[in-house]
Structure 1
Amino acid sequence: MSLLRRVLSRKVSVAAMIEFALWLAIPYLLIGFVWAFFDAEQVQLFDTAFRIRLPAGSEILAYVQTAAMWPQLMLGADICAA
């Protein structure tokens, strides 16, 4: 318990926390973009849903959303596009 208190009592700057979050985002997004590349069916479902509201750029938005949601999609939480 004292080790945990010692670790949590260290002062960390906001810039260091932002840098840490950005370093964690790199592997997350890389895995997500690879997942979206191989899960073209899910990208197509998102594209169909977005095409009504955003005709220009719906493909890119669908690809980015699939890349951002890769943990949920990996577990089988498919999104209903109806």
Structure 2
Amino acid sequence: MSRFLSRPVPVEAMIEFLMWLSVPYIVIGLVFTIAHPDDMRALETQLQTRIPAGADLASFGAITVLWPMMLITGPLEERCHVG
């Protein structure tokens, strides 16, 4: 085991490894975002006052990246107080 850990690893290899790890994370996030359009609309409504031109893209990106938090905390409509 120590022989394996003592080998030098190039920075390019580490970056490639991290990029390959991010692919399933992003794919799961996209599926989660498409499956929960109500959460995306609730966040978009909240973002309309701050960034009116890009609220839809910002909410799509936020839900896609933060899908683990969304799984833990539950539906977004209950916490946003939209209306």
Percentage of pairs with the same residue: 32
Give the gaps of 5 or more residues in structure 1: none
Give the gaps of 5 or more residues in structure 2: none
Greater Cα shift, 11-20 or 68-77:
68-77
TM-score, scaled to structure 2:
0.83
Matched, 1:64 2:61: yes
Cα–Cα, structure 1 residues 11 and 55, in superposed 2: closer, same or farther, change >3 Å?
same
Matched, 1:20 2:33: no
Q: CA RMSD in A?
A: 1.6
Counterpart among 21, 38, 42 of residue 41 in structure 1: 38
Greater Cα shift, 6-15 or 45-54:
6-15
Tell me if structure 2 keeps the 8 A contact 1:36–1:63: yes
- Count of residues in Structure 1 that have an aligned counterpart in Structure 2: 79
TM-score, scaled to structure 1:
0.84
